[in-house]
Amino acid sequence: MPTSPTPSPTPEPSGVRRRSLLGAAAAAPVLASLAGAGSASAAPVASATAGPAGGPRALPGGGDLGPNVIVFDPSTANIQGRLDEIFKQQESAQFGTGRYALLFKPGTYSGLNAQLGFYTSIAGLGLSPDDTTINGDVTVDAGWFDGNATQNFWRSAENLALVPVSGTNRWAVSQAAPFRRMHVRGGLNLAPDGYGWASGGYIADSRIDGTVGPYSQQQWYTRDSSVGGWLNAVWNMVFSGVEGAPAQSFPEPPYTTLETTPVSREKPFLYLDGDEYRVFLPEKRTGARGVSWGNGTPRGTSLPLAQFYVAGPDDSAATLNQALEEGLHLLLTPGIYHLDRTVEVNRAGTVVLGLGYATLIPDNGVTALKVADVDGVRLAGFLVDAGPVNSATLVEVGPEGASADHSANPTTVQDVFVRIGGAGPGKATTSLVVNSRHTIVDHTWVWRADHGDGVGWETNRADYGVVVNGDDVLITGLFVEHFNKYDVQWNGERGRTVFFQNEKAYDAPDQAAIQNGSIKGYAAYKVGDDVTEHEGWGLGSYCYYNVNPSIVQHHGFAAPNRSGVRFHGLLVVSLGGNGQYECVINDTGSPTSGTDTVPSKVVQYP
């Protein structure tokens, strides 16, 4: 296991490494949905299932998963052809409307290369990744963008075993592209062909038997996994609960390594029990290390699909709320859902699980989804896209003032992504608000778009990315970018963040536009002045003020100077000299320098 960087086989890219340099590629035309043979269908379930009051439900549980959930088994003809057809449609459709889930029944598949484009999820349908083996590859590359992987967003791989043809699988992604619950019987290459720029990424609950090679990846977070080795680091590599991870060595090489993850609970997932679809709910782990499925059988409980309302994009918010009121969980099949009112999750233990990047768009300035102050809600696997009328908030976990103790059974928010602009005009004052105590946010990308349609300093105005008011909240894998004011504002006590990646807004017109009282610029990550306990590990903020490169940002991080407020492994970077930082945190840390794109680092604060 290397504990220091190993040179890349090609020179590491230098200078500015960001996605906007080459501009946004035009989205490919969206083709008609792929339907017909291979679409998923569960056995029909009678609608007279008991509701919460004991009476019959008006809405059925279970049912057909819709045309954009494509299910394969080892006997399916021309699997590669179907995979290629979907990839051709989705490869460059960055802001398109296509959404797909590619599901593989347990068994062995050979000779496949599943190339994943935008809004495409691939997953096995076993209880363990090893139940579904692909002798082949699940590939993400960047040919569509001239070898630049910094826009390879919104795709995922889950619950599969891979035996890569060359011995190494390529997974060249950036934000919102989780690699979960995977077993790679070989190595994993996180860089695009040609070792171009990349800005990822996230691995969880996975076993990579060989070496992981980040190469040009700027940053990466790996949680509760096992790796055979780790090749190198660029700016910020963070590990928690990873067997085989490099030893703690920040600032050089920039590895931040925690032996365990304080608390984790893996994402719910769809699987087959015989011919019946069920959703598995992994149990909470404290001091987690290594994969949750090490003995082949994960620990947790499961629910039959009959207890889920299987929603489609034509369903209204009223229908979704009716299903929730009747005691059903929600399974959001792939597509785009327009909401004219808030989806209200009020029942403890409710699961809202999206497939294939199901996307919620709030119309008329409503909040897309709100969760009551109850135990054990699980939100997972969907995208919230701001609408053209400003929403005060997009997702709220717990009402204002929530105070109940959820330590035994927290709410989890996993692979829930937020976007403001890019696919068209969108506005939201605050994207994600966490009020409930003990909430675990595990992997999110909250993004005010810097390219695409509907983008401009006021056009897709969004002041705050993530606001945490609840106490005892833990975030593992926090990506928040480009907000007009604070990207993260943390007001709750005893908050913890393991890994943070940020870019300040590119498009500020001048210094006055970002002035924060007497302070030059809003910190990327602000801990409230009254907070007495907070801790963070492996946090980075970058600036790229390309509209006005003369802008100065005083610091990336702001926090009370108290012994109970602690940070480990902080860095700020000016990308090519487009704007500068004067300090790293508060008034501590060296300024960035010129056009060198070299991080300024603080090992511990205070």
The catalytic residue positions are: 503
Query: 8 and 194 in contact (C-beta within 8 Å)?
Result: no
Residue 37: Cβ within 10 Å count: 9
**Separation between Cα atoms, residue 239 and residue 259, nearest integer Å:** 8
Q: Which two tokens stand for residue 161?
A: 């075993």
Query: Measuring CA to CA, how many Å separate 463 from each of 226, 369, 483, 484?
Result: 38, 19, 5, 5
Q: What is the DSSP letter of 97?
A: S
**Separation between Cα atoms, residue 422 and residue 431, nearest integer Å:** 15
**Separation between Cα atoms, residue 597 and residue 14, nearest integer Å:** 8
Q: Which two tokens stand for residue 151?
A: 């826009």
Half-sphere exposure of residue 602: CA atoms within 13 angstroms, side-chain side: 26
Type of residue numbered 480: V
**Separation between Cα atoms, residue 52 and residue 587, nearest integer Å:** 55
Query: Measuring CA to CA, how many Å separate 322 from each of 325, 342, 368?
Result: 5, 12, 15
Residue 19 dihedral angles phi and psi, to the nearest 5°:
-65, -25
Type of residue numbered 195: Y
Query: 15 and 597 in contact (C-beta within 8 Å)?
Result: yes
**Separation between Cα atoms, residue 213 and residue 6, nearest integer Å:** 9
Q: Is the dihedral of CA 465, 569, 544, 582 positive or negative?
A: positive
* Beta bridge pairs of residue 288: 261
Q: Which residues of 77-94 are buried (b: 16+ CB within 10 A; e: fewer)?
A: eebeebbeebbebbbbbb
Residue 261 dihedral angles phi and psi, to the nearest 5°:
-95, 130
| Residue with tokens 């946004």, as numbered in its chain | 24
Considering only CA atoms, give the Rg of the chain: 22
* Beta bridge pairs of residue 534: 495, 565
Q: What is the helix (H) or strand (E) element at residue 532, kind and residue range?
A: none
Give yes or no for a cis peptide into 606 (omega within 30° of 0).
yes
Type of residue numbered 329: H
Q: Which two tokens stand for residue 233?
A: 């680091």
Nearest to 34 by CA among 72, 79, 69: 69
Nearest to 332 by CA among 320, 318, 342: 320
DSSP states of 413-447: EEEEEEEESBBS---EEEEEEE-STT-EEEEEEEE
